[in-house]
Amino acid sequence: MSNWIWPTESESWPTVKEKKVWAVGKKGKGKRVQKGDRIIFYVNGTMHFHGIFEVKSDWHDRITVWPDQKHGSEVLETGAEIDLEIIQLGYASVHKLLHSLNFIEKKKGHIGLYLRGTPMGPANSARPISQEDYDLIFKELKAVQTEPNFKKEKEKTDEPEELVELPDTSFEIEKLPTPDKKSIGDIFRDADKGIFAIPDFQRAWTWSRGQIEELWESIFRGYYIGSILVWNGRGKDLYSNPVSGAEKLSDHPDMILDGQQRTTAIYYPLKAPDRSLPNTDHPYLFFLDINALLDPSRPPTDIVSSYRIKKVERLGLLEQKTQFEKKLFPLSELNDKKYTDWVFDFYEYLMETERFEKETAKKYRSTLESIFNYVWSHFEIPIVKLPENLSLDNVVEVFERINSKGTRLDVFDLLNARFRIHDIVLRDLWSETLENQRNTLTWFEKFKNEKLPQYILQAMSLYKQGYSRRRYLLRLDESYTISGKFDKNEFEKDWHEMSKWVEEAITRLILTTSKGFGAANYDFIPYTTMVPILAALLRISDEKADRTKCLDKISFWYWNNVIDDEYSGSTDTAMESDLKEMNVWFEGGEQTVQQQIIPDNFPKSKSSSSIYKAIMCLIAKEGALDFVRDDPPDFSKLEDHHIFPKSKSKKFNTGDLTDSILNRTLIFEKTNRGISNKDPSAYITEIMNDQKITKEKMKERLATHLISSEAFECMLNDDFGGFIKAREKTIREKLESILELKI
């Protein structure tokens, strides 16, 4: 029995309540909700749950006409319906229960995402909620029987809006700190002394010299170039690096969360380090064109230019005399007011070499000194400092919100930065894992699964603290801290141990023996996201006296979750819930993992669906001998192909079952080319004649593809309909077999 949240429109709620029915607009879309389950209805726009119903029937054809367009009469022919029985009606406020409901993980922001239904399916990413959450909602529904004054969000009416009651506590909006202001000179000095630092999770400095030039052109034109956001975690949360080009790092630096590219683009031209620019093999020097600066008719793009160091040497631009002749000022002379000497020498050059009148030369000197002094000492940039006591997960959330690409930070990169303060480099541990774990290496390098290092951390967190969600991962080091001291040896030992179990999880996924799950081809793995929980369960089971029984329970859990699409969306909550249930079951407690019912429409499942992939895995486990070759197959070279050729679909009237899993299996590409334009009767007869094998021998070969004797006879008779019917029976029986608990 599962508990589901399902949203409905306010127009449809009376129909649900009075007729005690619920419907979907397309058959099969509600398959996860079964007879005996309980549905908690959330009415959109009210921020309230309105009732709990028990499902009293299987899904059947639609007979109810619904008032809203989403369940309108025009979709009755394709829809499905279930009968309900009221358990409890009432009004349970989401806001009141918010901080107690486990399925709503993020308590701030768009909590509606957890209440929004999947396409014609339940809310919460089509996942059931816990019994604890169910009990909370039930209790509140029972307690509140008076209908609140609902106002739909953004709904406009002619009636005046009632003012809400003030809360007991004072109401305050969290205020942003007042920005400090720092000059270009301040920013240079802070970067040079290591007061500014780059947290290790930040992407590398990427700006091109063109972007650096544009920034400095904006500075010299007095344009606003944005603010810099920093956080000082007092060195206890994240490892950080100096600004690119700097060598020092203070004990408690201000970590730049937003503005790294700009800060570095300010620092690099002023410092002129012997370090290549991003995506180049050369250091560059930046110069200010004095004529372009002083001529307002010249475009800003003429003001700053850059040259790689070898070209600077070739042009003689390291010599001050050449700089004066070309009217080019090195930006590296701006720092620490070295420009005063340069400008004075330029002033003398104008009088002595270019024969300027003293007063004229003096005006140029005064003008340039004024500009350079303004840029160095008075061009200010706002520096916003986040509170020092802000938690790491909140800091990460801030960073992600302001990240211009909207990219969610990788947990592994974040933790690599966090664990560096414990003298642990996760990237080094990961490199060791790749050296020692063959299948992990293959998944990472060949199949480009970059989540694998995170899977190890998730498995460790599940095993150590029972959680895999991001906010718990970010505090994983706390689980290895005793009396304020971090146990480095224990963590590294656990990493290496869990790396082995992640390897074991991958191995079991790809094995085609009785111990494996048959995903010999990477493309047929239903959910790679199951690796962390599978690794944790395998490690736990290895510690049990009845290990064999535990492994049987894991197999039961795995296949039923695959068929149920349990890991199709956000998986963290599912992993945590499954771990708790499996731990209880391992200890001899109640079995709560449910045996799934095979959906009637599985023959029409898409090739991307978990059930399609599961069936391909079962075919691999049967042996999947190639139609032509009778030796054990190299599964990495087998491909998913048609049995009744697609080119003959009109002849055999295959309809929408042309690409059905029932008409597909694993064979070599070369074999497929040989049979792709032939009737099954023709290519089977040809194979038997060429290889001089009996009909019985050919039957045995095709039986490794879950093709029964009856289905084989249909192939010989080119009977597509009969073949589909017979093969569906065989595959269904095989699915039912793996979904049974064998203990």
pLDDT of residue 694 exceeding 90, the answer is yes
Domain count, the chain: 4
Question: pLDDT at position 336, please?
Answer: 80
Could you tell me if 717 and 618 lie in one domain?
yes
Could you tell me if 111 and 196 lie in one domain?
no
Burial class of 647 by CB neighbour count within 10 A (0 to 12, 13 to 18, 19+): exposed
Phi/psi-derived region of residue 715, left when phi > 0, alpha when psi is between -120 and 50, beta in every other case: alpha
Q: What angle do CA 139, 144, 147 make, to 5 degrees?
A: 145
- Does residue 595 form part of some domain? no
Confidence of residue 126 (pLDDT cuts 50, 70, 90): confident
- Percentage of residues in the chain having pLDDT higher than 90: 62
Question: pLDDT at position 75, please?
Answer: 44
Q: pTM higher than 0.85, yes or no? A: no
pLDDT of residue 457 exceeding 90, the answer is yes
Question: pLDDT at position 72, please?
Answer: 38
Residues of the domain holding 236: 180-380
- Does residue 224 form part of some domain? yes
Could you tell me if 564 and 629 lie in one domain?
no
| 644, 677 contact by CB (below 8 A) | no
Last residue of a domain, one of 560, 586, 612: 586
Confidence of residue 148 (pLDDT cuts 50, 70, 90): confident
Could you tell me if 184 and 105 lie in one domain?
no
Query: What is the tens place of the pLDDT at every residue in 236-281?
Result: 567 889 999 999 999 889 999 899 999 999 999 999 999 999 989 9
Last residue of a domain, one of 117, 143, 169: 143
Could you tell me if 582 and 613 lie in one domain?
no
Question: pLDDT at position 27, please?
Answer: 57
Measure the CA dihedral 689/692/697/698, to 10°.
-20
Question: pLDDT at position 165, please?
Answer: 63
For residue 378, the 8-state DSSP code is: I
- The listed range with the strongest mean pLDDT (518-522, 606-610, 694-698) is 694-698
Average pLDDT of the segment spanning 554-579? 89
Confidence of residue 153 (pLDDT cuts 50, 70, 90): very low
Could you tell me if 676 and 639 lie in one domain?
yes
Question: pLDDT at position 540, please?
Answer: 97
Could you tell me if 612 and 723 lie in one domain?
yes
- Does residue 430 form part of some domain? yes
- Does residue 254 form part of some domain? yes
Could you tell me if 610 and 582 lie in one domain?
no
Could you tell me if 59 and 20 lie in one domain?
yes
Provide the β-strand partners of residue 241: 198
| 345, 300 contact by CB (below 8 A) | no
- Does residue 409 form part of some domain? no
Q: Which pairs count as long-range contacts for 428-433, CB under 8 Å and 24+ apart, including other chains?
A: 429/492, 429/495, 429/496, 430/456, 432/496, 433/495, 433/496, 433/499
Mean pLDDT of the chain: 88
Could you tell me if 205 and 352 lie in one domain?
yes
Last residue of a domain, one of 116, 143, 170: 143
pLDDT of residue 374 exceeding 80, the answer is yes
- Does residue 164 form part of some domain? no
Query: What is the tens place of the pLDDT at every residue in 186-204?
Result: 999 999 999 999 988 777 8
- Does residue 582 form part of some domain? yes
